Every structure is written in C-alpha cells, then in structure tokens.
Amino acid sequence: MAKQPNLLNGPAPAELRRKYKIIIFFVMACFSLLLTRLWYLQVIKGDDLKQKSENNSVRFRKIKPLRGLIMDRNGTILVDNSPSFDVLYMPSKGKDPDRVLKKLRELYQNKGMDLSFDQPFPKNAKPFLPVKLEKNVNMEKVAIVETNALDLPGVYIDVTPVRQYIEGQVVAPFIGYTGEISKDELEKNVEEYTSGDVLGKYGIEKFLDSHIRGRRGAELVEVNVFGKEIKNVGRIDPISGYNVTLTIDANLQKVAWDALEGKAGAAVALDTRDGSVLAMVSAPSFDPNLFNSGISLAEWTKLLNNPLKPMSNRSISGQYPPGSTYKLIVAAAALEEGIITPETTFHCNGSFELGNRSYRCWLKKGHGSVNLHRALVESCDVYFYNVGKLLGVDTIAEYARRFGLGELTGIDLPNEKGGLIPTKQWKVERLKESWQLGETISISIGQGFNLVTPLQLAVAYSALANGGTIWRPRLINRIETTEGGIFKEYLPEKRGELGLTEKNIEILKYALWGVVNENGGTGRAARRPGSDVSGKTGTSQVISMPENDKVRRDKKINVFHRDHALFVCYAPRENPEIAIAIIVENAGHGGSAAAPVARKILDAYFNGKKKNVLKKPEAKIGLTDVTGNRQQ
Amino acid sequence: MILRFDRRILVNFDWTLLAIVLGICFIGVLNIFSAGYSLSEKQYPLYLKQIQWIALGLLCMLIVFFIDYRVISRIAYLIYGFSLALLVFVALYGYTSNGSQRWISFGSVFFQPSEFVKLTIIVALARYFDDHKSLEPYTLKELFVPLLILFVPFILVLKQPDLGTALILLIIFSSIILFIGINWRSFLIAVVVVLISMPVGWHFLKDYQKDRLLTFLSPENDPLGTGYHIIQSMIAIGSGGFLGKGFLKGSQTQLKFLPEQQTDFVFSVFAEEWGFAGGLVLMLLFIFLIVWGMKIALHSRDLLGTLISFGITALISWEVFINIGMVLGILPVVGIPLPFLSYGGSAMVVLLMSMGLLMNVSVHRFILQR
C-alpha cells in the first residue's frame, strides 16, 4: 500500500497517513467504550438485569378509551359502555396449556357452567401474546379464576370497556356494531389505528367512528413474578369519545319495531318539516351485543346466510319495486305535463290491451269509468296504464327523480343504495336492448325495472306533504364533547324542490287523503279519527306470475315469491308533521298488511304528542361560540 | 473512459466491501424478523419489506458504482440542489407522522429526503474542497460556501423537526472540516458562535418544539416516553448475558417491552438474543467496515475520492456510535438509526448507494494510473 505513487494534487500522503492513524485510533477508542459498556451491562450486571427482565418489571399497557354514548332526540341512552371481563391465558407463564384448560373447565363444571373455548389450545400460540379464552364472562367465572389463580398458572382476568346496546335489535340496523380492527382495515389506516383497537363496523358506529372512538391512553405498571400489578409508574389517561344525539325518537322506534317484529320488512318515519328520521326499523334484526363476547364463526355464518338478511338495513339498502305507491309520481307527471286534468276519465273493465298482450287491473271485475281522484283512491291499474302510455317512460323517470327516487338520499349512514329508475337510454346502455312499450305499462304501476328504498319513498311523500321540499333525511342531530359542549351540529338541508304547482299538489294531497278516508279507499286500515292520515298503498311483485290469478293467490306458492306489501303516508292533512313508509315482505296487499303497521306508529306519535313526551330537541344556544369551540 | 466498460472494473471490484455490507444487511433482516415475530400476523411483516428495500438499494448501488465518481462530482451541486428541492417540498407538502413532517408519500410508500441529503452534502462538500484546494488550513472566510451548503438543509431538517438527522449533518460537516484542516482560531470562533446562537435560536422555536427539545435533554421528565425506552432497552441488553437468549427468544423483545424495536432500538433486540458474543461480532463487522472505508480514503488517487470515501465512512461511524451509545444508555436519545440494521427504506437505499460510491472510489485506484 505504501507503494502507491504520490497523488498529483491534494494533501501529501504522509500527512494523509498521519490523519488516517489518528482517525483509526479515535474509532477504536469509541468502539472500545461501547464494548466496555456492553460488557458491563451483559456480563457484569447481566444476571441482575436478567432477573429484572424475567420478573419484570415495568409493563407498558394500552388503555382502551370509552366510546361516546349514542342517545335519541330526548337524551334517552341507546348505546352505553359496560365493563367486559375477559379470561386470558399467557402461554409464557403456564407450562401446560391443555392441562390448565382442563382444570378451568372442571372448575366451571363444578358450578354448572361451560368453558366456551372448546378447541384444543393452538399449537402455534406465541409465548408472549396472551390468548383470549373467553370474552365478557359473568362475575361467577371471574370469581372462579381469581380464587384459583394458583391452580391456573397463566390464566388471568382483563377488564376492558365494551359497547352495551340497550334494546339492541330495535336499533341495530342503523346503530351498527363494533369489533376489533381487521387486517384490511389496519392496513388501510396504519397511522390511525393499532392492532387490537375497537372500531365501528357498521351503521352510525362506523359513520361517526372518528368522533365516537376517543383516544387511547397508556399505562406503565410494575408487575411481579405472578404477573400481578404492584405499582403504577406512570399513566396517560385515555380520552373518551364524543357523544352523539340522534334525531330518532326511542319510543316511536320501539313501537315501530313491535309492530314489525316477527315479520320481514322496514319502517321509516320522517319529520316532514326538516327531514329528521324519527324511527327507522328493519326486521328481522340482529343483536349487536353478540359481537362483544366474540361472535363465533358458526353464529356469524348463520347471520350472514340467513335468507331474511338480518344484517342489512332494509330502510336504506333494501331495494323494492314501489308498486302502486309509484302512482303518485305518475299522477304528478301527468297533471304537470298537462296530459290529463282531474276530470279526465278512463274506463277500466279489469284489463288493458296492448298489441296481443293483456295487462290486468288488480280488481278483476274492473273499476268502470274513473277520474284521477278515484283512480288513486281505489288504486286502479288500468287508469295508470293509459296515463303511463301517454307520458312515456322518460317523462315518468324525470318526475321520479324530482321526487328523489333512484338516487341516494344522502342520509348520514354508510351502505345506502340508490335504487333504480329506468329510462330508455339506461336500458340501451345496460342491457343493450331497446325499450318496449309494454315495459312502460309495467313502470306506470311501479313494477318492472323500478327499484326504490323505503327511505326514498318516505322522502318523496314527505316532500308532497310539506308542499314540495326534498329534505336530506338526517339521523344525526349533533355531536357533543364529553363536557357537553356542541362539537358539531347537523342542520336540516334542502336537497331539492318538486317543482309542482300548488294546485296540483292540492289535487294529489286530496286524493291521498281519500285513499285512507273515503269509502272504497285501499288504505282505510290506517284511518285515525282526528289526525286525517293521507297515504297510498302498494303491492310489489317479487316475480311475475302466470296470468292465472288463482296461482297468484295460492298460499302454497313459495313464501319468498309472495308479493311485498307497501304503505306510505303522512299526517295530519293540514300542516303535516310525520311521513311514514312501510314495507312488509311477502305479506300480500299493502292495505291489509302494511297500513296497520303505519297506524300503530301514528297512534304512538299522536298519543305521545298529546302527553307531551315527544319534546322538540332544544338547541343549546350559548354553550358554544360560532366556531364550535368548547366553552365552560 | 467514462461510459466504456472497463474490464478492470470487474477484476478489481471490491468484493470484500460488498461481502461485509451484505453480511450486516443479513443480520439486520434476521433481527427485524425476530423483532416483529410476535407482532400480530395481521400486519405485513417488516422484514419482507426490508428485503425489498435492500433489493432496491442494491440496484441503486450498482448504478452509482458504474458511473465514475468524477462524473458524479461534476453534477454534485445539481444533485445537492435536487435534494434541497425535495426538502422544500417536504416542508410544504410533506407527510406528517408523530408530529414530524419528514416524508414524501407515494401512496403506501414513503420517502424521507433528509436521508438522501446526508449523502448529497458529503458529495457537494467533496466537490467544493476539490475545486478549492489549499495546503494551508482553511479560515472561516474560506469556509463560507461550505457553511452555506450545511446550513440550508440543516435548518430545513431542524424545522421538520428531526433533531437526530440535523445533528448528524452537523457532525458530518464538522468531521470533514476537521479532516481537511481548519485554522485553529477559526475553529474556536465557530464553536463560540454556535454556543451563542443556541439561546437565540431557542426564541424562534415553537412551544411544542421546545417541549420536545426539553424532553430530549432530560428524559426522566417523560417516564412514559424516552426514559422508559432507555430503562427497557438496558434491561433487554443486560438480560442477554454473554451468549444471549437465542434467536426469537428475547423476552423483552417478544413481550413488546422495547420501544421502536424495529427502528432506533434494533440493537437492543440483537443484544438480548445474541448476547455479548453477538454484539462483539456485530461491532467487529462495523469496525472492519469503517477501517476498510478509511483505507479507501487513504489510497484514493485524488482528493475528491478521499473526501467522498472519508465522508461516507465518517457518516456510518458516527451513526453506529451514536445509535449504539444511546441504546446502551451512555448517550442521550436522539432519533438516529443504526445503519443497515434499523428498519427504514430511505435510509437503506441511501446507505447502499453510498456503498456503491465507496466501491466506485475503491475500484478507481487501480484504474486511474495517471
């Protein structure tokens, strides 16, 4: 190396070599220091520190925050938190997990209880990761584990907050549920969450997760050889999540649930004046508390595979043909376009001929000559076949859109479906086929390709009731800080106008009143003295039936092929306050199966109002400044 | 000469250097595997990501190796300017994590330009001193431009805030200045100026930055943070004993007592599982790498090569010393990663790039005969 020739420029090699020696000396000195320290820690103090690590010592523990409460409009708590006692097993502490499990099972059985952890202990369990044996156990089991700690090495109790859903099934479809973060969710939000975090999986719990969740705390605890905590070394308190007040009325919600329980269907009640959702029921439902004790795979698949789909919120994601409730839209279009006047009559002899096909009216003997009012009151199909044929599918679709059908209502919930309002262009693009006139005939009585959600129907009828305003349905009233200040307030939001003349609105409203209150009206089951209910029945075909009526009515046909019953209404006639949409699946006629459900909700609403139970939520003015900052 | 492939490049390739680097990288991957072993299986394992970063780094190393370092030096200021532009971009649009705005985000991949700056500063300084050779020690006046080269990225990195990297930039600069030779009076003045400017600079810091600095200076005030890290790190290392607890068997590691165990505190994981014996071997590997790097500096045919290889070797030496010193509890905790062992894509790629440059200088002493 010394043989290298001199550098042309730069420092002389002698000088460089001197520096090199100094540097190497310096580096060696530094590393000797490190090695000395390493020797000191590992060899001299090694045994000492080893013991510390084995008995150890200080443990860092995450503390789960309390999720915010969810309340109804009157402050009734719908979702709370409660402590969950979990039985855990630390593999590194126990030598023989299977024997410990056997012992625990024995102890349980002595008291007549079972250990729900029924599989053999996982072979690949990592020694320092606790295995959850049971979640959310009762106090008896806690007592057994605590008193037999010596016989159960490695087994201990951990307390964490879990969600408590009061009247779980009643509100589950929109409240949703929580669960431990999944692999996918974790990968999407590495920054925000860590493994083991609990987050909202569905409904409001998911929609408002970032506000409800709160912030994790942490704790440093000194632990003794048995894993028992001796001393708290330091702590950062968790921060509870914000509380949420919904627009829901818990009483009305319960009544609506009771009216639908045992059936499959949905009920939505809106405040016609601002779009607040007063009740939203989907049946059958599920118990969100199931997820607290760790739902088993069998239970989970059972829920998912249930043909009645208890995990879906039919009010916003159930898409049904609107049936005769759609006649309101066709009537509005016809009046507004000047195709008919209220006096225009068509003759119904029970069927309508187009080409070589015959379209039946639901009343086989026919309605005779009917005008618009009678056609709506008695729900005459033939009348609307005629009107629909004159209007054409695209004009009907335009009015359906004005009523907010076929598009998202914008409700503050995830998983909303938009439904479908077909047009000629849609069919060409989607099915690569041209539109058939016969399809227009089906569309005009709300069958065929038409699909709407119960919430959309409630919004549409609510708009007619309030004189033409489409409100965005809102479920969330406000989010409050833990101290009670308003963090965010959700105000009513106008989404559109029907754009109908006042005269036509009055004509339609009078007809809808007639449906419930006049002789021959299809919705008489919803009649309430004093509150002047107005509405429209509907029956939506699930599959097209052979022409023969007898087959259609035959009880022996597959339950899932029977028609859905619909009823949409609002009340009172003057200054309407509440609009309701009901669907009862596979239940037959709207007038007989759905209208009585609406009637029960209306009873509760107006009786409750009389008793002054249904308070208007008071705005807490003065608690917050304009920016929403908390003030004490 | 530059682009023509020279057979001598292969014949004289520095295989020893490559072997040491790959060896240390391999230990690093094993170690990250162990550190992440008992983490939830739900996450994509970091050691696999680290392998991908090493692969990318080796590619960069190869590219840097094949471009004559004198050609690189010609565009040194351009590269330096580019790295500054990245830092400015980070200051404006950077991705923030843990209260520090350090990253450029490409979807799920993050790049940390301050790592890149460590290398570009070295090359820019080497170029400057190669252009302005002097047999006399430099005075402060002559060092105006080098100081500028340091301070622009230094301030930008400090503002992120990233004290560790800023500190490393300062130390690298000082090492190069001391190596090239500085007038003793100028040196004393510089030290005095730095000491005086500290309280002045304090006023320009935001409250949270002051808090962070205070925590850094007295960790015991933050029992859940830095102080805890150090206690647990020392317990982990000490409990390893002479021979260690064995691969995947470190209880401190597997119990997650260790903080940042895949990044700044990887050495604790290693020392717990492999003991003093393992620590000794690893440090000998690092010493070998450093001595080898310094030898390359010594035997380079020109000042440029000497300065580049000295700068790179000094960077690695200081990072290793400060990181291990901090983990062993003899230096304050600053966020400085352990080269080749800490998890981190940007650092790994830049380090391997530096190794490419080192090999580049190494091979050219056989080629540049004239």
pLDDT digits (tens, 9 = 90+) for B93-110: 888 776 678 888 887 788
CA–CA separation, B257 and B242 (whole Å): 21
Look at residue B255 in the predicted model and tell me its pLDDT: 55
Q: H helices of A114-268, where? A: 139-147, 168-175, 183-188, 203-207, 209-212, 250-260
Look at residue B35 in the predicted model and tell me its pLDDT: 80
Q: Is B136 helix (H, G, I), strand (E, B) or coil?
A: coil
Q: What interface predicted TM-score (ipTM) does this complex get?
A: 0.91
Residue type at A515 in one-letter notation:
V
Q: H helices of A231-289, where? A: 250-260
Query: Residue A529, class by beta-carbon neighbours within 10 Å (0-12 exposed, 13-18 middle, 19+ buried)?
Result: exposed
Say which of A276, A312, A324, A444 is annotated catalytic.
Answer: A324
Look at residue B80 in the predicted model and tell me its pLDDT: 96
Verify whether the Cβ–Cβ distance A195 to B299 is below 8 Å: no
Kindly report the nearest CA distance between residue A275 and chain B, in angstroms.
39
Look at residue A629 in the predicted model and tell me its pLDDT: 36
- Name the residue with tokens 């307030």: A489
Look at residue A151 in the predicted model and tell me its pLDDT: 83
Domain ranges, ordered by start, for chain B: 10-364
Look at residue A483 in the predicted model and tell me its pLDDT: 81
Look at residue B227 in the predicted model and tell me its pLDDT: 61
Kindly report the nearest CA distance between residue A82 and chain B, in angstroms.
26
pLDDT at B42 over 70: no
CA–CA separation, A268 and A320 (whole Å): 14
In this structure, how many other beta carbons lie within 10 angstroms of the beta carbon of residue B37? 18
Which of A72, A125, A80, A155 lies closest to A475, judged by CA?
A: A72
Verify whether the Cβ–Cβ distance A195 to B39 is below 8 Å: yes
Residue type at A145 in one-letter notation:
V
Asked if residues A584 and A594 have their Cβ atoms less than 8 Å apart, the reply is yes
Per-residue tokens: A460 = 């549409």
CA–CA separation, A541 and A447 (whole Å): 7
What DSSP string describes A3-14? TSPPPSSSS-HH
In this structure, how many other beta carbons lie within 10 angstroms of the beta carbon of residue A260? 25
> Which of the four pLDDT bands, split at 50, 70 and 90, describes residue B292?
very high
CA–CA separation, A193 and A200 (whole Å): 12
Which residues in chain B have Cβ-Cβ distances shorter than 8 Å to A16?
A: 298, 306
CA triple A536-A540-A542, angle to 5 deg: 170
Contacts of A383 (CB under 8 A, 6+ apart): A346, A348, A367, A370, A372, A375
Whether the CB of A19 is below 8 Å from some CB of chain B: the reply is: yes
CA–CA separation, B224 and A504 (whole Å): 70
Q: H helices of A229-326, where? A: 250-260, 297-305, 314-317
Q: Tell me how far CA of residue B51 lies from CA of A187, A468, B40, B113, B344, in angstroms.
A: 19, 63, 20, 20, 11
Q: Which residue has the higher pLDDT, A438 or B317?
A: B317
CA–CA separation, A247 and A232 (whole Å): 43
Task: Name the closest residue on chain A to residue B294, using Cα atoms.
Answer: A20
Contacts of A337 (CB under 8 A, 6+ apart): A391, A395
CA–CA separation, B222 and B208 (whole Å): 14
> Hey, CA dihedral for A187, A178, A61, A80, is it positive or negative?
positive
Q: Is B247 helix (H, G, I), strand (E, B) or coil?
A: coil
Verify whether the Cβ–Cβ distance A7 to B301 is below 8 Å: yes
Look at residue A632 in the predicted model and tell me its pLDDT: 29
Look at residue B5 in the predicted model and tell me its pLDDT: 64
- Chain A stretch 199-228, residues whose beta carbon is closer than 8 A to a beta carbon of chain B: 218, 220
Q: What per-residue string of b and e applies to A312-322 under the rule 16 or more CB within 10 Å gives b?
A: bbbbbbbbbbb
CA–CA separation, B127 and B78 (whole Å): 11
Verify whether the Cβ–Cβ distance B251 to A37 is below 8 Å: no
- Name the residue with tokens 């058939």: A436
Verify whether the Cβ–Cβ distance A127 to B254 is below 8 Å: yes
CA–CA separation, B245 and B260 (whole Å): 20
Which residues in chain A have Cβ-Cβ distances shorter than 8 Å to B254?
A: 126-128
Report the run of H or E that residue A538 belongs to, with start and end: strand A534-540
Measured in degrees and rounded to the nearest 5, phi and psi for residue B121 equal -65, -45
Residue type at B142 in one-letter notation:
E
Verify whether the Cβ–Cβ distance A220 to B223 is below 8 Å: yes
Contacts of A81 (CB under 8 A, 6+ apart): A66, A67, A69, A161, A162, A163, A164
Kindly report the nearest CA distance between residue B369 and chain A, in angstroms.
9
- Name the residue with tokens 């430099």: B138
Which of A174, A243, A180, A166 lies closest to A204, judged by CA?
A: A174
Look at residue B208 in the predicted model and tell me its pLDDT: 60
Specify the DSSP class assigned to residue A312: S
CA atoms within 13 A on the CB side of A11: 23
Q: Tell me how far CA of residue A483 lies from CA of A161, A235, A490, in angstroms.
A: 20, 22, 19
How confident is the model over B121-168, as pLDDT tens digits? Answer: 999 999 999 999 887 888 888 899 999 999 999 999 988 878 889 989
Q: Which of B96, B128, B174, B224 to mutate to test the interface with A (most CBs of A within 10 A)?
A: B224
Whether the CB of A428 is below 8 Å from some CB of chain B: the reply is: no
Domains of chain A: 59-246 (3.90.1310.10), 250-285+314-610 (3.40.710.10)
Which of A417, A423, A402, A426 lies closest to A452, judged by CA?
A: A417
Per-residue tokens: B156 = 């930008």
CA atoms within 13 A on the CB side of B330: 15
CA–CA separation, A368 and A386 (whole Å): 14
How confident is the model over B335-363, as pLDDT tens digits? Answer: 789 999 999 889 999 999 999 999 999 99
Q: Is the peptide bond before B161 cis (omega within 30 degrees of 0)?
A: yes
Average pLDDT per block of 10 residues along chain A, 632 residues long: 40 79 94 94 83 62 85 92 85 76 88 79 66 83 85 83 88 90 72 75 91 81 58 74 94 94 92 95 90 76 86 92 94 94 92 87 89 93 94 94 94 92 92 90 91 96 94 94 86 92 94 92 87 90 54 55 90 93 89 90 87 46 33 30
CA–CA separation, A514 and A342 (whole Å): 14
Asked if residues B271 and A37 have their Cβ atoms less than 8 Å apart, the reply is no
CA–CA separation, A494 and A274 (whole Å): 8
> Hey, CA dihedral for B34, B35, B36, B40, is it positive or negative?
positive
Verify whether the Cβ–Cβ distance A20 to B298 is below 8 Å: yes
CA–CA separation, A422 and B146 (whole Å): 72
CA–CA separation, A180 and A200 (whole Å): 9
> Hey, CA dihedral for B250, B253, B255, B257, is it positive or negative?
positive
Look at residue A195 in the predicted model and tell me its pLDDT: 67
CA–CA separation, A568 and A581 (whole Å): 4
Q: Is the peptide bond before A572 cis (omega within 30 degrees of 0)?
A: yes
Q: Which residues pair with A565 in a beta bridge?
A: A539, A584
- Chain A stretch 23-82, residues whose beta carbon is closer than 8 A to a beta carbon of chain B: 23-24, 27-28, 30-31, 33-35, 37-39, 41-43, 45-50, 52-54, 56-60
Q: Tell me how far CA of residue A239 lies from CA of A67, A481, A482, A627, B98, in angstroms.
A: 9, 11, 9, 22, 18
Q: What is the mean pLDDT of chain B?
A: 85
Kindly report the nearest CA distance between residue B41 and chain A, in angstroms.
9
Kindly report the nearest CA distance between residue A45 and chain B, in angstroms.
7
Kindly report the nearest CA distance between residue A173 and chain B, in angstroms.
28
- Chain B stretch 191-250, residues whose beta carbon is closer than 8 A to a beta carbon of chain A: 223-224, 228, 231-232, 234-242
Establish whether A324 is a catalytic residue. yes
Strands (E), A110-167: 131-134, 155-165
- Chain A stretch 181-200, residues whose beta carbon is closer than 8 A to a beta carbon of chain B: 182-183, 186-187, 191, 195-196
Look at residue A550 in the predicted model and tell me its pLDDT: 45
- Chain B stretch 119-148, residues whose beta carbon is closer than 8 A to a beta carbon of chain A: 133, 135
Q: Is the peptide bond before A617 cis (omega within 30 degrees of 0)?
A: no
Which residues in chain B have Cβ-Cβ distances shorter than 8 Å to A17?
A: 298
Per-residue tokens: A532 = 């002047």
Which of B318, B161, B344, B369 lies closest to B266, judged by CA?
A: B344
Verify whether the Cβ–Cβ distance B299 to A1 is below 8 Å: yes
Which of A192, A196, A191 lies closest to A178, judged by CA?
A: A196
How confident is the model over B273-285, as pLDDT tens digits? Answer: 999 999 999 999 9
Q: Tell me how far CA of residue B6 lies from CA of A351, A393, A441, B62, B367, in angstroms.
A: 94, 78, 84, 15, 9
Whether the CB of B283 is below 8 Å from some CB of chain A: the reply is: yes
Contacts of A138 (CB under 8 A, 6+ apart): A85
> Which of the four pLDDT bands, split at 50, 70 and 90, describes residue B198?
confident
